[in-house]
Amino acid sequence: MICAKDDSGTNCPDCTCMFNPVVVIATHERREITTLNIQALKQQTDIPKIVIVCSLQTELEYYKQFQVNVILEQNKPLGKKWHTGVNLANKLGANPLIILGSDDLLAKDYIHNALLKLKEGYEFIGSTAWYSYDVKRKRLYHSKYINRNQEYPIGSGKVYSKSILDKIRWKVFDQAADRKLDDQGHKLINGHGCKIYLFKEPFILAVKGGWNEMNPIEKYLNAPNIKSSLIDKDILNQFGYV
């Protein structure tokens, strides 16, 4: 985004030209939805650099056609795979770093709105609500954390400012872990007194298809700390998913 007043963007409240957002996506055998995700990211109001971490040579060659940064890493442990992407994002000068699931799509203005929150002084941005689309049954749900998780950010769409990344030495993920990767990152930022902003609106779409899923739609619908309600599918258009 080009600032209308000066090159720094400091005098323009809506300018985000001082940032260099980098999105990291770890993917495995999800070619169709990851391709759609890449295309959607390139339609963001603020277009980020994209890092794709895959585990198959054939997928590495495939994703190169989209002019994104692609790197190869074994699929397990997942912590190491994600960390490989974070390291590459660091080399690309990420400011901020954005973590995104391969089957999670962001609303068009998500990155721009997150950058504006960084300008306000927040160091970490997350979301406590999201949309869940069941591809098989063609049902769309509004999902949100409740009870003890109501102030806990979901894993996808997390935005880490450079200031908090430097404080935690870019150790966003436990390289030895294969599960509960989000917990470590949340504990780290809380331990450093990070200024946090949480979106309560669902600006993220989790697409649940026929691929291997860590959190299938049934888990959302039956979880005691998640409330999900059926809504109109027209909202899918906001994410470029049709």
pLDDT band for position 238 (50/70/90)? confident
Map out the domains of the chain with their CATH numbers.
22-170+182-239 (3.90.550.10)
What pLDDT is stored for residue 212 in this prediction?
A: 65
Q: Are 170 and 90 in contact (CB under 8 A)?
A: yes
Q: Which residues contact 137 (CB under 8 A, 6 or more apart)?
A: none
Which 3-state string (H, E, C) describes 166-234?
Answer: HHCCCCCCCCCCCCCHHHHHHHHHHHCCCCEEEECCCCEEEEECCCCCCCCHHHHHHCCCEEEEEECHH
CA distance 13 to 26: 33
Type of residue numbered 37: N
Q: Is 207 a residue whose pLDDT tops 90?
A: yes
pLDDT > 70 fraction of the chain, expressed in percent and rounded: 90
Q: Which pLDDT tens digit goes with each residue over 83-102?
A: 999 999 999 999 999 999 99
What pLDDT is stored for residue 5 in this prediction?
A: 45
CA distance 27 to 36: 13
pLDDT > 90 fraction of the chain, expressed in percent and rounded: 73
Q: Which pLDDT tens digit goes with each residue over 30-67?
A: 999 999 999 999 999 999 999 999 999 999 999 999 99
Predicted TM-score (pTM) of this structure = 0.93
